[in-house]
């Protein structure tokens, strides 16, 4: 009985030594095993695309959450008119901050834009039009992913639909949903504004994320 306990102790000590890096060379078996595992990790394009889809969804959801939280705080402080000032200064920096640690870009694109910086690019146009077509015909849209840069970058997009009356205080009908102070703030800061007259359920635009394939692979 005593002898067995000793054996355990010796084995335990040995494990401890190697765990601390006693300078022992990695045996061929271990080396081969690591290589075999790396082999298994060779990913298919479909798996990478699927991961990009999941990641795109989670980052755009996070960005949405951050914008809405900031917006609600700004409204609580300065009402909708004050929050227009807040969004004018902070909407794009908040998105940049969400994107930055992931080495991706995040933006929102809309044909009925408030900020002219949110006009769709040539690459985004046909996708946005497809979302618009679906919305006009009562078809719900799934998120979409496309490759560009010879397959090295993904463009992830997701429709932004007006979820509730909360948005209408700045995107609904002037006079009815949007009060006068808010409307004049909008006109002052966004003379080209096209983002009013919306109803709940309308397409407001889309999320547009550029995700390098290499960043997706790093996560897998």
Please tell me whether residue 198 binds ligand HEC under the rule CB under 6 A. Answer: no
Please tell me whether residue 162 binds ligand HEC under the rule CB under 6 A. Answer: yes
Query: What length is written for the chain?
Result: 220
Please tell me whether residue 113 binds ligand HEC under the rule CB under 6 A. Answer: yes
**Shortest Cβ 92–ligand HEC spacing (Å):** 5
Please tell me whether residue 115 binds ligand HEC under the rule CB under 6 A. Answer: yes
Q: Which is nearer to ligand HEC, 55 or 80 (CB)?
A: 80
Please tell me whether residue 169 binds ligand HEC under the rule CB under 6 A. Answer: yes
φ, ψ for residue 203, nearest 5 deg = -75, 125
- In the list 167, 183, 203, 211, the residue contacting ligand HEC (rule: CB under 6 A) is 167
Please tell me whether residue 127 binds ligand HEC under the rule CB under 6 A. Answer: no
CB-CB neighbours of 135 under 10 Å: 17
CA–CA dist 74, 100 (Å, integer): 23
Please tell me whether residue 184 binds ligand HEC under the rule CB under 6 A. Answer: no
Please tell me whether residue 63 binds ligand HEC under the rule CB under 6 A. Answer: no
Please tell me whether residue 88 binds ligand HEC under the rule CB under 6 A. Answer: yes
Q: Which stretch binds ligand HEC (CB under 6 A): 55-63, 67-75, 122-130, 133-141?
A: 67-75
Burial track 108-131 (b if 16+ CB lie within 10 A, e otherwise): bbbbbbbbeebebeeebeebbebb
Q: Which helix (H) or strand (E) holds 61?
A: helix 45-99
Q: Which is nearer to ligand HEC, 88 or 102 (CB)?
A: 88
User: What is the DSSP annotation of 92-122?
Assistant: HHHHHHHHGGGT-EEEEE-SS-SSGGGSPPT
Residue from 171, 169, 78, 43 nearest 118 by CA: 171
Please tell me whether residue 92 binds ligand HEC under the rule CB under 6 A. Answer: yes
* Strand, helix or coil for residue 112: coil
CA–CA dist 87, 93 (Å, integer): 10
Site residues, ligand HEC (CB under 6 A): 68, 71, 75, 80, 83-84, 87-88, 91-92, 108, 110, 113-115, 118, 160, 162-163, 166-167, 169-171, 195, 204-205
């Amino acid at each position: 009985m005593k002898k067995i306990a000793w054996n355990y102790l010796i084995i335990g000590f040995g494990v401890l030594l190697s765990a601390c890096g006693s300078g022992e060379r990695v045996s061929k078996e271990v080396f081969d095993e690591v290589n075999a595992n790396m082999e298994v990790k060779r990913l298919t394009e479909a798996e990478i695309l699927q991961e990009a889809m999941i990641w795109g969804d989670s980052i755009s959801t996070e960005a949405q959450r951050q914008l809405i939280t900031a917006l609600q705080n700004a409204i609580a402080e300065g009402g909708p008119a004050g929050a227009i000032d807040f969004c004018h200064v902070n909407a794009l920096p908040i998105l940049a901050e969400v994107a930055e640690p992931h080495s991706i870009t995040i933006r929102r694109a809309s044909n009925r834009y408030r900020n002219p910086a949110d006009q769709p690019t040539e690459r985004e146009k046909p996708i946005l039009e497809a979302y618009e077509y679906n919305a006009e015909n009562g078809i719900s849209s799934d998120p979409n992913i496309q490759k560009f840069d010879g397959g090295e970058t993904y463009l992830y997009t997701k429709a932004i639909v007006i979820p509730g009356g909360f948005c209408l205080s700045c995107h609904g009908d002037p006079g009815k949903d949007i009060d006068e102070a808010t409307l004049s703030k909008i006109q002052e800061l966004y003379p080209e504004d096209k983002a009013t007259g919306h109803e709940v359920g309308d397409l407001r635009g889309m999320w547009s994320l550029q995700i390098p394939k290499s960043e997706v692979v790093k996560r897998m």
